[in-house]
Chain A
Amino acid sequence: MIYRESGDYSTTYAQDSQTFPIRFDRYRFYAVVFVAYCIIPFIINDYWASAIFVPFLIYAIAAIGLNILTGFCGQVSLGTGGFMAVGGYSVYKLMTSFPDVNIAIHVLLAGLITAGVGILFGLPSLRIKGFYLAVATLAAQFFLVWLFNRVPWFYNYSASGMINSPERTIFGYIVTGPSTEAWAKYLICLVFLTLCAVLARNMTRGTLGRKWMAIRDMDIAAEIIGVDPLKAKLSAFAISSFFIGIAGALFFAVYLGAAEAGDSFGITKSFLVLFMIIIGGLGSIFGSFAGAAFMVLMPVLLKNVLVGQLGWATDLAAHLEFVIVGALIIIFLIMEPHGLAQLWRLAKEKLRLWPFPH
Chain B
Amino acid sequence: MKDTIDSYVTADGRTIGGVMMEMKNITLRFGGVVAIKDISFDIREGEIRAIIGPNGAGKSSMLNVISGFYHPQEGEVWFRGERRPTMKPHNVARQGIARTFQNIALFNGMSVLDNVMTGRLTQMKTGIIAQSLWYGRAQKEEFQNREIVEKIIDFLEIQHIRKTPVGRLPYGLKKRVELARALAAEPKLLLLDEPMAGMNVEEKEDMSRFILDANDEFGTTIALIEHDMGVVMDLSDRVVVMDYGKKIGDGTPEEVRNNQAVIDAYLGVAHD
Contacts and interface: CB of A to CB of B under 8 A. Distances in A.
Does A touch B (CB under 8 Å) in the complex?
yes
Given A207-B126, A208-B128, A226-B122, A217 B107 contact: yes
B105 A226 contact: no
Contacts of B98: 225
A227 B138 contact: no
B187 to A, nearest CB: 10
Contacts of A221: 101, 105-107
16 contacts: A13-B142, A199-B132, A202-B131, A202-B133, A206-B134, A207-B126, A211-B121, A214-B110, A217-B110, A218-B105, A222-B107, A224-B68, A224-B90, A224-B105, A225-B99, A227-B121
Contact of A13 (B69, B94, B107, B147): B147
Given A12-B143, A13-B142, A218-B107, 12 more contacts: A202-B131, A207-B121, A214-B118, A216-B107, A218-B106, A221-B106, A222-B107, A223-B88, A224-B69, A224-B92, A225-B182, A239-B128
Contacts of A283: 109
Contacts, number: 105
A199 B135 CA distance: 11
B114 interface: yes
Range of interface residues on A (Cβ < 8 Å): 20 to 34
A135 interface: no
Interface in A221-273: 221-229, 235, 239
Given A13-B147, A199-B132, A226-B121, A207 B89 contact: no
B119 interface: yes
A229 B91 CA distance: 11
Given A14-B139, A202-B133, A226 B93 contact: yes
Contacts of A213: 107, 109-110, 114
Interface in B113-146: 114, 117-119, 121-122, 124, 126, 128, 131-134, 138-139, 141-143, 146
A208 B130 CA distance: 11
A207 B127 CA distance: 10
A336 to B, nearest CB: 14
The 9 A-B pairs of least Cβ separation, nearest first, read A226-B93, A221-B105, A217-B107, A202-B134, A226-B122, A13-B143, A207-B124, A199-B132, A224-B89
Interface string A143-157: 000000000000000
Nearest to B94: A226
B221 interface: no
Contacts of B182: 225
Contact of A220 (B105, B110, B114, B141): B105
A210 interface: yes
